[in-house]
Amino acid sequence: MKRLDLIFSERELDAILTALENAGAPGYTVMKHATGRGPETIVSEDMEFSGLGANAHVIVFCDEDIINKTRENIKSILNYYGGVAYVSEATPL
């Protein structure tokens, strides 16, 4: 079992979730209003009113083949709009 962590602007949430669903992800968790610091600037909620809000953090637990299926699509979105994605091992309790 793998864990995929994605952090990117909330504006791209629909595109990322569509990519995950098309790859057959069994489910995912979305945490909105994620703030912090990116490579260029502080990520805050202060532009929430304009739709340029903070980041979203998406966590997916799934098999590796699902991650492979969605890899290129998600990389393309993150390369274009910005954001990070990391895959790690996950052990169920």
Residues of this chain that interact with another protein (CB under 8 A) are 9, 11, 33, 40-41, 44-54, 76, 79-82
| 2 vs 43, beta carbon nearer another protein | 43
| 14 vs 89, beta carbon nearer another protein | 14
In whole angstroms, how close is the CB of 62 to another protein at the nearest point?
26
CA distance 48 to 87: 29
In whole angstroms, how close is the CB of 70 to another protein at the nearest point?
17
| 22 vs 76, beta carbon nearer another protein | 76
What residues contact residue 90 under an 8 Å CB cut-off, 6+ apart?
A: 1, 2, 3, 61
**What backbone torsions phi and psi does residue 10 show, to the nearest 5 degrees?**
-55, -25
In whole angstroms, how close is the CB of 85 to another protein at the nearest point?
16
Q: How far is CA 85 from the centre of its chain?
A: 6
**What backbone torsions phi and psi does residue 12 show, to the nearest 5 degrees?**
-95, 10
